[in-house]
C-alpha cells in the first residue's frame, strides 16, 4: 500500500511537470505578446524591448522554462505581469472561494443525482424513469451560462430569494452551487440508476425480500448503501471536471474563485497567473484521481492496489 502511494506520488509529480511544460510551450508559441499588454498602446519600441529584457522574455525558450522551474521548486510562482502582485497571493486569496463552491456543488450533485437515479431505478421502464433519464440528458448538455442566468432571473430577480451574485454568505452560495449541481447531477443519476438496478437483481436483495422485509426497508437499508459505492468513487474524478468547468459559473455569479482569475489572465496574456492557475488545477485533478483510486479498494475489496 505504502509503496503504491509512493509510486503514485512520483507519477503525479511527473504528470505535473508534463503539464507545466506543455502549458509553457503553448503560451510561448501563442501569437500574442505579453510585453505588448504590459507596455500598452502608447509605448515606444525602446520601452517594449526594455520590458521584454527585464522580464527575461528575450531569452530562449529553454532558459525561460528552466528559470520558471527553478523558481517553482523554490516555492516562487512569480509576479503577475499586469497586477505586479505575487501570483501565490492572488491564488491564495481566491482558492477558498473555489473550494467552497466545489464542495457545495458536489453535495448538490450527489443529493440530486442519487435521489433521481434511485427513483428512476425503482420505476424502471415506466414513464417516470424515461422522463428522468431524458432530464439527465438535458442537464448534462445544457450550457452553464444559460442555466446560471435562468436560475438567477427566477430566484433572485423575480422571487428575490437569493442575492444577485456576489460572495460572502450562505445565501450567495446557493445558486452557483445549485447550477453546478443540476448540471452535474445527470451523470450521477445515470450511474446511480444502473448501479441500483444491478444491486436490486442481487441475491441478497431477493433474500431480504423473501424474509418479508418491506420494500422501503429493502431499498434504503440494503440496496442503497451498496449501490452508492461506485458513485462515490466518481467524486474524485469530478474534482477535475470542476476545475475546468467552474469558470463560467464563477463569472456569471461574480464568484471570486480561481476560474475568474484564469479567465481574466488569459485575455491579457498574463503568463505567470495562467501558469499558476493551471498548476493548481492540475494538482487538484491529480490528487482527486489519487484519492479515487485509494478509496476504490475500501469500497470494493475485489480491487487490489498494485
Partner 1 sequence: MKKLILTTALAALIAAPALGQGEAPKHGGNMIVTYKDDVATLDPAIGYDWQNWSMIKSVFDGLMDYEPGTTTLRPGLAESYTLSDDGLTYTFKLRPGVKFHNGREMTAEDVVWSINRVVNPATQSPGQGFFGMIEGFDDAAAGKAPGLSGISAPDAGTVVFKLSRPDATFLHVMALNFSFVVPKEVVEAEGADFGKKPVGTGAFKLAEWTLGQRLVFEKNPDYWISGVPYLDSFTVEVGQEPVVALLRVQKGEVDVPGDGIPPAKFIEVMSDPAQAALVVEGGQLQTGYVTMNVTKPPFDKVEVRRAVNMAINKDRIVQVINGRALPANQPLPPSMPGYTKDYKGYPHDPEAARKLLADAGYPDGFETELFAMNTDPNPRIAQAIQQDLKAIGINAAIKSLAQANVIEAGGAGTAPMIWSGGMAWIADFPDPANFYGPILGCGGAVEGGWNWAKYCNEALDAKAAEADAIVDPAKAAERLEIWSDIYMQVMEDAPWAPIFNEQRFTMKSARMGGDDALYVDPIAIPVNYDYAFIKE
Under the rule (CB under 8 A), what is the footprint of partner 1? 30-33, 36-48, 50-51, 54, 79-80, 82-85, 89-90, 93-94, 97, 149, 152-153, 156-157, 160, 163-167, 250-257, 260-261, 264, 267-269
Give least dist CB 53 to partner 1, A: 9
DSSP assignment of the chain, as one string?
A: -HHHHHHHHHHHHHHHHHHHHHHHHHHHHSSS-HHHHHH-TT--HHHHHHHHHHTTTTS-HHHHHHHHHHHHHTT---B-TTT-SBHHHHHHHHHHHHHHHHHHHHHHHHHHHHHHHHHHHHTTTSHHHHHHHHHHHHHHHS-HHHHHHHHIIIIIIIS--S-SS--SSHHHHHHHHHHHHHHHHHHHHHHHHHHHHHHHTSHHHHHHHHTT--HHHIIIIIIHHHHHHHHHHHHHHHHHHHHHHHHHHHHHTT--SHHHHHHHHHHTT-HHHHHHHHHHHHHHHHHHHHHHHHHHHHH-TT----
Distance, CA of 304 to CA of 95 (rounded, Å): 34
Smaller CB distance to partner 1: residue 83 or 283? 83
**Burial of 294 (C-beta count, 10 Å sphere; 0-12/13-18/19+):** middle
Whichever of 97 and 275 has its CB closer to partner 1, that residue is 97
Nearer to partner 1, 41 or 74 (CB): 41
Q: Please, what is the minimum distance in Å from the beta carbon of residue 117 to partner 1? A: 32
Nearer to partner 1, 44 or 141 (CB): 44
Task: Report the nearest approach of partner 1 to the CB of residue 261 (Å).
Answer: 7
Cβ proximity to partner 1, 90 vs 178, nearer residue: 90
| CB of 292 vs partner 1, minimal distance in Å | 30
Q: How far is the CB of 269 from partner 1 (least distance, A)?
A: 5
39 vs 120, beta carbon nearer partner 1: 39
> Among residues 51 and 116, whose Cβ is nearest to partner 1?
51
Tell me how far, at minimum, the Cβ of 201 lies from partner 1, in Å.
48
Q: What is the nearest approach in angstroms of partner 1 to the Cβ of residue 212?
A: 57
Amino acid at each position: 500500500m505504502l509503496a503504491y502511494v509512493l509510486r503514485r506520488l512520483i507519477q503525479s509529480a511527473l504528470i505535473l511537470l508534463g503539464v507545466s511544460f506543455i502549458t509553457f510551450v503553448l503560451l510561448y508559441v501563442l501569437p500574442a505578446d505579453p510585453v505588448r499588454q504590459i507596455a500598452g498602446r502608447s509605448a515606444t519600441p525602446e520601452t517594449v524591448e526594455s520590458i521584454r529584457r527585464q522580464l527575461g522574455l528575450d531569452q530562449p525558450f529553454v532558459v525561460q522554462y528552466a528559470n520558471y522551474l527553478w523558481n517553482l521548486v523554490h516555492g516562487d510562482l512569480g509576479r503577475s505581469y499586469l497586477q505586479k502582485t505575487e501570483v501565490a497571493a492572488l491564488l491564495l486569496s481566491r482558492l477558498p472561494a473555489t473550494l467552497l463552491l466545489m464542495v457545495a456543488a458536489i453535495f448538490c450533485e450527489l443529493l440530486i443525482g442519487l435521489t433521481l437515479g434511485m427513483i428512476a431505478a425503482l420505476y424502471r421502464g415506466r414513464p417516470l424513469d424515461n422522463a428522468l433519464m431524458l432530464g439527465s440528458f438535458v442537464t448534462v448538455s445544457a450550457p452553464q451560462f444559460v442555466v446560471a442566468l435562468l436560475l438567477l432571473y427566477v430566484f433572485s430577480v423575480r422571487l428575490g430569494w437569493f442575492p444577485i451574485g456576489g460572495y460572502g454568505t450562505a445565501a450567495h452560495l446557493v445558486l452557483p452551487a445549485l447550477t453546478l449541481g443540476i448540471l452535474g447531477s445527470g451523470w450521477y443519476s445515470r450511474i446511480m440508476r444502473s448501479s441500483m438496478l444491478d444491486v436490486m437483481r442481487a441475491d441478497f436483495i431477493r433474500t431480504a425480500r423473501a424474509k418479508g422485509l418491506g420494500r422501503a426497508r429493502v431499498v434504503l437499508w440494503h440496496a442503497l448503501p451498496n449501490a452508492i459505492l461506485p458513485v462515490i468513487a466518481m467524486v474524485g474524478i469530478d474534482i477535475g471536471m470542476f476545475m475546468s468547468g467552474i469558470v463560467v459559473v464563477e463569472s456569471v455569479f461574480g464568484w471570486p474563485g480561481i476560474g475568474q482569475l484564469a479567465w481574466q489572465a488569459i485575455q491579457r496574456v498574463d503568463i505567470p497567473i495562467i501558469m499558476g492557475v493551471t498548476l493548481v488545477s492540475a494538482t487538484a485533478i491529480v490528487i482527486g484521481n489519487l484519492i479515487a483510486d485509494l478509496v476504490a479498494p475500501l469500497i470494493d475489496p475485489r480491487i487490489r492496489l498494485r
